[in-house]
Every structure is written in structure tokens, then in C-alpha cells.
């Protein structure tokens, strides 16, 4: 009898402890949450047993519901999951349930939250409302296990090319069958007008090394059940982080198809010598009430204001809290999952400044332990203020304490073409005065150089990069106007001929500078979005790549191909360290509107002993004295790359709006 009473008392004590613990969680104090350190959250499938594991420490009850379809219909079964240690809830099914859809629903105090797929869903039905049990082995294309990444000797060899899955193929003139789909980027031999390569063949032809695809995880804004309405979005509104987007799949009702077709896209790119970078958006979600984080553990995954509202450094209504253990764990495991399951080669972090430097450093270490060739980079800023202290944010100013991750140089971007948000402002290539130091800052990849006056640089008064491989130089991307539209708006009286020279000069600076160059898809044939500045949900007619522009501007396409070839053939443009840059690159004293430098090589695989690079942004010709020895003109803005160009010495005439590379 005493033993029986003792058992009852122990049971009541445990229940009381659980009840007290249930109400002791403080969303502003992560230490009040038990943490789960296992690597098996989510669904683990085998033909004989499938386990479900969910971290939901604040839940009073968790229901697991099974469905026969990805949407509609009643659940075929509802299960109350079992609570385990460290906030874990789990359940096992001892039979083959491949193809079954499921949701979780948690009770917090007296309230039942919305049904969601759970943060660790790997496959989902239409519109991502229900997760799916999938045998991932069956989603692998033929030869997947043995496929190999294209070789990459050094990060300094990278040339990035950013595109949106839909933009590349959706135009009727693309010659691509699977328009707007992952499979559109697995088609080879496609042409415009039977003469001009399109799609993946064009990208390969350009000579770039890495294709950066805009968010292609499952996002919220497109109704996958109504694709005929043709709604468009860039995809920066995450719903299911570990699942490909359904609108890019040929079948949206079967959760396996998007996985198979994403893998086929990656496999084809690899076969064509192209590495693949995924744009990831871990800094916020599309809508918390429809996304798993806040419907499973309310408040934990997000930074909150003192009044209990979501903080908003993302500018999208909420921001995640990477500095919390389970969010940090989630980001790292998610990136590693995309690497292993989808064979990705790099990740671009949207609004990386929202993430703390400790998380990003740990993430980089974990990734590079597995594959040192994975390239990581992101935006070194936020879209608003954050509760995260400035010294902890992964912003440009803190990049010296970040290892293995690169950041975009918006200094170079706006220095070349003008301010991103003040559309009528000019930049170096369009004649703005006093931009030379900003251009020099970009040329040395935001590193320490004795000849750069950092106080005269547009956005930074000190170098922020540890070395050239930590800096992304660019002049345009999906955000804001295309390069052509920006130049057109800010130079309304300029002729097309002059605008074309400005455009060519802009990316000549990028592709001959130290650091990692980044190109916006279509810039090589003067892509326009018809002056629409923020096209994130504009129709296809604004965003699509019109392949007829390639024929109209084939001279510019050939110019870019030669420029990229020159960069790839000459390591002098890809020095391996900030020390090499400071020692081997010497700026010349030039008149206003001109930037020029000598660059010497002591690299074994460099055929040039010394090169001279000059950019003349003036509307007048300039006389430049090179020296009394003969130099070969390897490149100029009119003729592009020609390693056997004319010989020059003494005084050389530099044309208006021009660029030159001389070598000996």
C-alpha cells in the first residue's frame, strides 16, 4: 500500500513539474527552453518503419494527422504523439507508408494552432500545406550517385551568374519546351531563331562557372493549384525551407516530382561544367501563421520586440533568431541537407546581416568540413534595425571576424552606376565626379591597400574584407533596375551608342577587378525590365529574358565572352590574397574621371609579366604616357579581348568612355 501511494505521489510530482515547466517558457529568454541535440528531427523513412520526431517543448499536446492527398479530404488517421526528453515528441509507424501526407498540430495552453508540415519537411503536397513521406532514393535521376561536381581549383576562379528559374525559359522565343520549370534548365540544344543558343547552352557559352538561382525552395506567394493565372514572384517569402518550389515542377500534386526535377536540373548543369548556387532566405518567413516555426514553437524562432510583436530587420514583417540554439541548428542542418541531397555547390544568404556572426562562422566551418569547395556569400546588411546588437551582426563592418563567407560590395556597385535607390544619380561610368576612390576600393576587393583613400569611399571608411575571395563585386542583380535601365534613367539624353559604352565599361571594371565577379542574367545583351525598379511580383512581360536581345546585341555578347575569357586565362586578375594585391597592384596618378593601375605577376601560370589597366569615364579623349617600351594591347572597349593586339609605346590616346588592358 505504501509503495502504491509513493508511486502516485511521484506521478503527481512529475505532472506538477511538467505543468510548472509548461508555463515557465519566456520567448525573450532562450535558456528557459530545453534543447534537442539529435540530428534526426523530421521524418526518417524505411519500408518497414517510419519515425516522426518534432521539437515542440511548449506544446501540451501534439496531433499527427495522416492524409491520402496533398490537399482536401479528411485525415485517414489522427495520432497523439508521445512526449519525450528535451521537448521532443515522437511516433513510429511499423509498416510502409511511402506516399502518405501528414501534418502536425500543437496545443499551447488551451489553444490549438494551425496544421503545418513541420520545419523539417522534405517533401510536400500542392502549396506546401501538408508534408509527404518519401523514399528519397527513388527521387534520384539515373547516375545521380556517381555524378561529379565540375572542378574548382580556387574560389578566386569563380564567376557568378544570377538568374530566376522562370525568367530564363518563359518567353515564347526561348526555344525551351519546359517553360518556367526546373526542367527548362536541363534542356540542351535550345536556340532562338535556330541560330542563337538559349538557356543552359547560352550560360555555358558565356564561360561563367557558377549559376546562382533565385530562391527555389517552397515559397508562399504562388498558388500552385492555379498556375494558369501566371502569377510571378522572386520567391523571397519562405514556406518550407527544405523542399523545392512546386510551381517550377511539371506536376504539383505529387510531392516527389519537384524533387526529381530539381535534381535533374543540377545534374545537367554539372554535366555542362556549371556549379549551382541556391539563394537561401533563412532570415524571415513568408507568413508566421502559415509557416511551421511559429505554429510549432510560438515565438522561439523569431526575435521579438518588448511589446511581444515581431521585430522586422527583414522588412517583411518578422526576422528569425539565428543566435538561438535551435534556429542555428536548423540553418546548419538545412544547408547540409541541400548539399547532400541535392548536390549543391554554394549558398547565397539573403540579408545576411540579420544572422549573427557566431552562427555564420559555425555554419561555414561545418560546411567546409564536408566540402571545402562550397562557396558561401551573402548580403552584408539588413533591411531595418534589429534587436541583435550591431557588433554581432554579419554585416560588412564585421566581415573581418567572419571566416569562409563572402559579402557583396555595394560600394563598387553604386560607385560604378549611381545610387541604387536614387534613380537619377550617376556613377563613375556616367560621369559623376569624385568616385575614383570608390572604384579603387572595388578594384582591390575592399581589402587594405596603401593607395586607397578610404575616407573618400562612398559607404565604407575602412577596408572590410580579409581577402579578395571574401568580396563579391557587381554592378546589377535582380534587385532594383537592370544595368541598362539604370543607365537609361540616369542619362536620359545619352544616345544608345553612348549607353552601350557605359554598360560595357561598367562590367569591364567588375570583371577585371580583384574579388569574385557577379553578373545579372541578360546583362550581356543589355537586358531591360522596361524601367520597372522592383519587379518581384511584376508579370513575365517585365521579368522574362527576351532572347531576341541576344541577336540584336550579339556584339555585346561576344564582348562579354572575351572579357570572361581574359579573366579566366590570366590569374593576374585573380590574386590570391590581400597581401598580394597591396604588393603587386599599384595605382597611377591620373586626372579626374580616370582610374589606372599597374599590376605585376609573380604567379607561375601567368604569361604576362606586367599589365596596365585603365578606365576612362570622361566624355573626352585622354593622352596617357605608358613608357618607352612596347606594350601589347590585349583588350579595349571597342575590340574586346585580343591577346595579339596592336603594339603601343610612349604616348597613347585613350578614347572617351573607354577601357584598356596592356601587357608585356
Q: Of all residues in the chain, what percent carry a pLDDT higher than 70? A: 97
Candidate list 218, 245, 279, 350, residue with the active-site label: 350
CA distance 34 to 100: 31
* C-alpha cell at position 628: 618607352
Per the CB < 8 A criterion, the answer to whether 472 and 406 are in contact is yes
Statement to judge: residues 199 and 231 lie in one domain = yes
Statement to judge: residues 210 and 77 lie in one domain = no
Residue 578 within any structural domain of the chain: no
Nearest to 539 by CA among 161, 177, 171, 245: 171
Residue 18 within any structural domain of the chain: no
pLDDT in tens, 247-268: 999 999 999 999 999 999 999 9
pLDDT of 125: 98
3-state secondary structure of 18: helix
* Residue 375 predicted with pLDDT over 50: yes
3-state secondary structure of 285: coil
Residue 628 within any structural domain of the chain: yes
What is the band of 6 on the pLDDT scale with cuts at 50, 70, 90? Answer: very low
Counting the structural domains of the chain, the total is 3
Statement to judge: residues 341 and 488 lie in one domain = yes
pLDDT of 539: 97
pLDDT in tens, 587-640: 999 999 999 999 998 888 999 999 999 999 999 999 999 999 999 999 999 999
The CATH number of residue 116's host domain is 2.60.40.10
Residue 192 within any structural domain of the chain: yes
* pTM strictly above 0.85: yes
Spatial neighbors of 38 by CB under 8 A, at least 6 apart, are 53, 88
Statement to judge: residues 160 and 270 lie in one domain = yes
Nearest to 467 by CA among 553, 580, 362, 573: 580
Spatial neighbors of 50 by CB under 8 A, at least 6 apart, are 43, 44, 92, 93, 97, 133
Statement to judge: residues 480 and 614 lie in one domain = no
The CATH number of residue 376's host domain is 3.20.20.80
H helix or E strand, kind and range, residue 584: helix 578-584
Statement to judge: residues 132 and 105 lie in one domain = yes
Final residue of a domain: which of 139, 171, 205?
A: 139
Spatial neighbors of 584 by CB under 8 A, at least 6 apart, are 575, 599, 600, 601, 602
pLDDT in tens, 566-583: 999 999 999 999 999 999
Nearest to 406 by CA among 450, 445, 362: 445
Statement to judge: residues 270 and 124 lie in one domain = no
Domain that residue 135 falls in: 30-139
**Cα 511–Cα 514–Cα 517 angle in degrees, nearest 5:** 40
Final residue of a domain: which of 139, 164, 184?
A: 139
* Residue 90 predicted with pLDDT over 60: yes
Candidate list 379, 414, 437, 485, residue with the active-site label: 379
The CATH number of residue 600's host domain is 2.60.40.1180
Q: Among this protein's residues, is 350 annotated catalytic?
A: yes
CA distance 246 to 405: 30
Residue 616 within any structural domain of the chain: yes
pLDDT in tens, 49-77: 999 999 999 999 999 999 999 999 999 99
Residue 308 within any structural domain of the chain: yes
Per the CB < 8 A criterion, the answer to whether 626 and 649 are in contact is yes
Statement to judge: residues 410 and 541 lie in one domain = yes
Statement to judge: residues 207 and 277 lie in one domain = yes
Residue 23 within any structural domain of the chain: no
Statement to judge: residues 369 and 412 lie in one domain = yes
pLDDT of 412: 98
What is the band of 2 on the pLDDT scale with cuts at 50, 70, 90? Answer: very low
610-616 and 658-663 as β-strands: parallel, antiparallel, unpaired? antiparallel
Statement to judge: residues 113 and 203 lie in one domain = no
* Main-chain dihedrals φ then ψ at residue 38, nearest 5 degrees: -70, 160
H helix or E strand, kind and range, residue 596: strand 594-600
DSSP state of 151: P
Statement to judge: residues 187 and 232 lie in one domain = yes
Q: Among this protein's residues, is 655 annotated catalytic?
A: no
The phi-psi region of residue 264 (left if phi > 0; otherwise alpha if psi is between -120 and 50; otherwise beta) is alpha
Residue 449 within any structural domain of the chain: no
Amino acid at each position: 500500500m505504501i509503495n502504491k501511494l509513493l508511486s502516485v505521489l511521484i506521478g503527481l510530482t512529475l505532472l506538477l513539474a511538467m505543468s510548472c515547466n509548461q508555463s515557465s517558457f519566456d520567448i525573450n529568454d532562450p535558456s528557459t527552453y530545453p534543447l534537442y541535440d539529435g540530428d534526426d528531427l523530421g521524418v526518417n523513412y524505411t519500408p518497414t518503419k517510419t519515425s516522426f520526431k518534432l521539437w515542440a517543448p511548449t506544446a501540451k499536446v501534439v496531433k499527427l494527422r495522416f492524409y491520402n492527398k496533398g490537399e482536401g479530404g479528411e485525415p485517414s488517421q489522427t495520432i497523439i504523439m508521445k512526449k519525450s526528453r528535451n521537448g521532443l515528441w515522437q511516433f513510429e509507424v511499423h509498416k510502409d507508408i511511402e506516399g502518405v501526407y501528414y501534418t502536425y498540430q500543437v496545443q499551447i495552453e488551451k489553444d490549438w494552432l494551425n496544421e503545418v508540415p513541420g520545419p523539417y519537411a522534405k517533401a510536400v503536397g500542392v502549396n506546401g500545406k501538408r508534408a509527404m513521406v518519401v523514399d528519397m532514393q527513388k527521387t534520384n535521376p539515373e547516375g545521380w550517385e556517381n555524378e561529379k561536381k565540375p572542378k574548382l581549383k580556387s574560389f578566386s576562379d569563380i564567376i557568378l551568374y544570377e538568374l530566376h528559374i522562370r525568367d530564363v525559359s518563359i518567353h515564347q522565343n526561348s526555344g525551351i519546351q519546359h517553360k518556367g520549370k526546373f526542367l527548362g534548365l536541363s534542356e540542351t540544344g535550345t536556340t532562338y531563331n535556330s541560330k542563337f543558343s538559349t538557356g543552359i547552352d547560352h550560360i555555358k557559352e558565356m564561360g561563367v562557372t557558377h549559376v546562382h538561382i533565385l530562391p527555389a525552395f517552397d515559397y508562399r506567394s504562388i498558388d500552385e493549384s492555379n498556375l494558369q493565372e501566371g502569377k510571378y514572384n522572386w520567391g523571397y517569402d519562405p514556406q518550407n525551407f527544405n523542399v523545392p518550389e512546386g510551381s517550377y515542377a511539371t506536376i504539383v500534386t505529387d510531392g516527389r516530382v519537384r524533387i526529381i526535377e530539381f535534381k535533374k536540373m543540377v545534374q545537367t548543369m554539372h554535366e555542362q561544367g556549371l556549379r549551382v548556387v541556391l539563394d537561401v532566405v533563412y532570415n524571415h518567413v513568408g507568413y508566421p501563421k502559415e509557416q511551421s516555426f511559429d505554429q510549432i514553437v510560438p515565438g522561439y524562432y523569431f526575435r521579438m520586440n518588448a511589446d511581444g510583436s515581431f521585430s522586422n530587420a527583414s522588412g517583411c514583417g518578422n526576422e528569425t533568431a539565428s543566435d538561438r540554439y535551435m534556429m542555428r541548428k536548423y540553418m546548419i542542418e538545412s544547408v547540409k541537407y541541400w548539399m547532400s541531397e541535392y548536390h549543391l555547390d554554394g549558398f547565397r544568404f539573403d540579408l545576411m546581416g540579420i544572422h549573427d556572426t557566431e552562427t555564420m562562422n559555425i555554419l561555414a566551418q561545418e560546411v567546409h568540413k564536408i566540402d571545402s569547395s562550397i562557396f558561401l556569400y551573402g548580403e552584408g546588411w539588413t533591411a531595418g534595425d534589429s534587436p541583435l546588437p550591431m557588433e554581432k551582426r554579419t554585416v560588412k563592418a564585421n566581415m573581418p571576424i567572419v571566416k569562409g563567407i563572402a559579402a557583396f560590395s555595394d560600394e563598387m556597385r553604386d560607385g560604378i552606376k549611381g545610387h541604387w535607390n536614387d534613380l537619377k544619380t550617376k556613377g563613375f561610368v556616367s560621369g559623376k565626379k569624385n568616385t575614383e576612390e570608390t572604384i579603387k576600393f572595388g578594384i582591390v576587393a575592399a581589402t587594405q591597400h596603401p593607395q586607397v583613400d578610404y575616407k573618400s569611399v562612398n559607404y565604407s571608411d575602412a577596408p572590410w574584407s580579409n581577402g579578395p575571395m571574401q568580396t563579391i563585386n557587381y554592378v546589377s542583380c535582380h534587385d532594383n533596375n537592370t544595368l541598362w535601365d539604370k543607365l537609361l534613367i540616369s542619362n536620359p539624353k545619352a544616345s544608345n551608342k553612348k549607353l552601350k559604352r557605359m554598360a560595357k565599361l561598367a562590367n569591364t571594371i567588375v570583371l577585371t577587378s580583384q574579388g569574385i565577379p557577379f553578373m545579372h542574367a541578360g546583362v550581356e545583351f543589355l537586358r531591360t525590365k522596361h524601367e520597372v525598379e522592383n519587379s518581384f511580383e511584376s508579370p513575365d512581360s517585365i521579368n522574362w529574358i527576351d532572347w531576341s536581345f541576344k541577336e540584336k546585341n550579339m556584339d555585346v555578347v561576344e564582348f562579354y565572352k572575351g572579357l570572361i575569357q581574359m579573366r579566366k586565362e590570366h590569374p593576374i586578375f585573380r590574386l590570391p590574397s590581400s597581401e598580394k594585391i597591396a604588393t603587386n597592384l599599384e595605382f597611377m596618378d591620373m586626372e579626374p574621371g580616370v582610374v589606372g593601375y599597374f599590376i605585376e605577376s609573380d604567379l607561375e601560370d601567368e604569361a604576362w609579366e606586367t599589365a596596365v589597366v585603365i578606365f576612362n569615364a570622361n566624355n573626352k579623349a585622354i593622352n596617357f604616357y605608358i613608357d618607352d617600351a612596347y606594350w601589347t594591347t590585349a583588350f579595349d572597349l571597342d575590340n574586346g579581348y585580343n591577346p595579339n593586339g596592336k603594339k603601343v609605346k610612349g604616348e597613347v590616346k585613350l578614347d572617351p568612355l573607354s577601357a584598356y588592358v596592356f601587357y608585356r
